[in-house]
Amino acid sequence: MANKSSVLLIYTGGTIGMIQDASSGELKPFDFKSLTKQVPELNKFDIDLSSIAFPKPIDSSNMHPNVWVQLVKTIQSNYHKYDGFVILHGSDTMSFTASALSFMLENLAKPVVLTGSQLPIGIIRTDGKENLITAIEIAAAKEKGKPIITEVCIYFEYKLYRGNRTFKFNSAHFDAFKSPNYPALAEAGVTIHYNKGNLLKPGKGQLKVYTKLENDIAVLKLFPGISQKITSAIINTKGIKAIILETFGAGNATTQAWFIKELQQAIKKGIIILNITQCPEGRVIQGMYETSSQLKKIGVISGADLTFESAVTKLMFLLAQDLNKQKTVRLLQTNLRGELTQE
């Protein structure tokens, strides 16, 4: 008989870990040592389940790169003890965390599944129980003795997505996440169906963990009538190393001379400008229209179909690696962890 799968549950905070105080009605974190009391269905699993909880739960709006470092160090120190990892996390910034972890964990050969909920686990109508139970099942799933999933994912409302392809699009319904530019990795119904052609292959070398991130990044989101003084203030912010330019459609921007000149001067100073589309679905194709051809000519980098969350965290990751600008630009346009579709 095969050995049981083992899964480490890491609770960072978020709605899923809350229960309602019977007397006051307030929501408060519950003790994860008594997890099986809150979710008795876990006792039916033939899985060795352990848990670690952050001493002070973090609302995901307060998520920070320092926490991502803490998470990858936790995975690194427990990597050979467990077959999979489930991270309980607030949904608001879950896609940022999933994207960051994907870059920080190179040669990953085990599942890291983030999940959470829109309603606390102590509420009768909670979506938290199903999300938690299925995320654990996915993290424990093996085929021929090897993990089925070997990447950083998000499981929410019956679907498993590649983490660095997601964004939170809904705060009112249980299906909180979308991945419009990449299909689901698995769908949970009566059984869990894995779309195996969509999965990343496991890393071949030893797990490599990166613990340095650089957050000197600015975001310039375009809108009709954006002023030169605002644009200039953002571009000339002291100390920035990269700017994410959120453009229209397939990567289009105003062709006003002052705007192109501002970008050109920033690029000459060594600042990387990464062009991503404001559209939830689709990709940047610089040069398709006149309104993006000038961006391409002056050296703005195409972000292809990167999500905003993935663009932010990939820049944070690459800028911290002490690479020259040429290599950083090349890797920005290279598919490292399944985060973009290369032309």
Taking alpha carbons only, the member of 209, 32, 159, 14 closest to residue 93 is 14
Burial 293-313 (b: 16+ CB within 10 A, else e): ebbbeeebbbbbbbbbbbbbb
Taking alpha carbons only, the member of 296, 303, 298, 301 closest to residue 282 is 303
Based on the number of CB atoms within 10 Å of its own CB, is 62 exposed (0-12), middle (13-18) or buried (19 or more)?
exposed
Mark whether 15 is an active-site residue.
yes
- Here the tokens at position 156 are 């929410």
d(CA 57, CA 117): 15
Catalytic residue among 12, 15, 126, 150: 15
d(CA 182, CA 161): 8
Residue with tokens 């899923």: 16
d(CA 147, CA 133): 17
Provide the 3-class DSSP secondary structure of residue 75. helix
Catalytic site positions:
15
